[in-house]
Amino acid sequence: QVRLVESGGGSVQTGDSLRLSCVASGYVYDTSSMGWFRQAPGKRDREAVAAIFMGGTTTFVADSVKGRFTITQNNATRTIYLDMTSLEPEDTGKYYCVTSVGRILPTLPALVLDWGQGTQVTVSS
């Protein structure tokens, strides 16, 4: 069983930065991939934000956050980070840490194996 614990969310102003962290325990190895989804207020769908292969440097970053968000990983501690800069009100939402199988990056909800509980990010103008 995999447990994902997110932290680092909060309420900030436009242009501020935040770092989200997610620590995985259980069956997550360097052959797994992890990433971040977000769900905006009032929206039903969750959007893939970024993902990374734990055994290397292969990454995915959504066009909507490219150039502002960076995903990194520390495989030794089974931790991933999402560094968010130049935050905008449109970035507001609940951010979920996820896993997927092997090198298949979790870029769609159907590819996600495990979900964390989420951490709230609120950006005010």
Comparing C-alpha atoms, which of 38, 42, 75, 71 is closest to residue 56?
Answer: 75
State pLDDT tens for residues 8-21.
Answer: 999 999 999 999 99
State pLDDT tens for residues 65-114.
Answer: 999 999 999 999 999 999 999 999 999 999 999 999 989 999 999 999 99
